[in-house]
Amino acid sequence: IKPKTILLRADSPYRTLEGLPLHQTCYQGEADKLRVEENNTLFEIPLLTGQKTGWFYDHRDNRALLNSYCQDKEVLDIFSYAGGWGI
């Protein structure tokens, strides 16, 4: 594989409990945002903040199903980090 970006996020608070230093290291490329296309929609995922990547591909089918329930309705999304459920 030929990744454009390699980012190591060793910044979980649990590292402090184990006496390990917190750090984020970008070994290659730029690690600001990741562009993701899912169900014909583009998202920008901030990589340096939040828990993990903030994007979970295993919910792709669930988000598509939710779209069918919410078609032509107004939705308030107060729980989504990257907007995957509301958008």
Mean pLDDT for 11-23 is 93
Mean pLDDT for 8-24 is 92
The helix/strand/coil state of 26 is strand
**What is the number of alpha carbons within 13 Å of residue 60 lying toward its C-beta?**
10
pLDDT at 54: 64
Residue 85 has pLDDT above 90, yes or no: no
pLDDT at 53: 60
State pLDDT tens for residues 22-70: 999 999 988 888 888 998 889 888 888 766 666 788 889 998 998 888 8
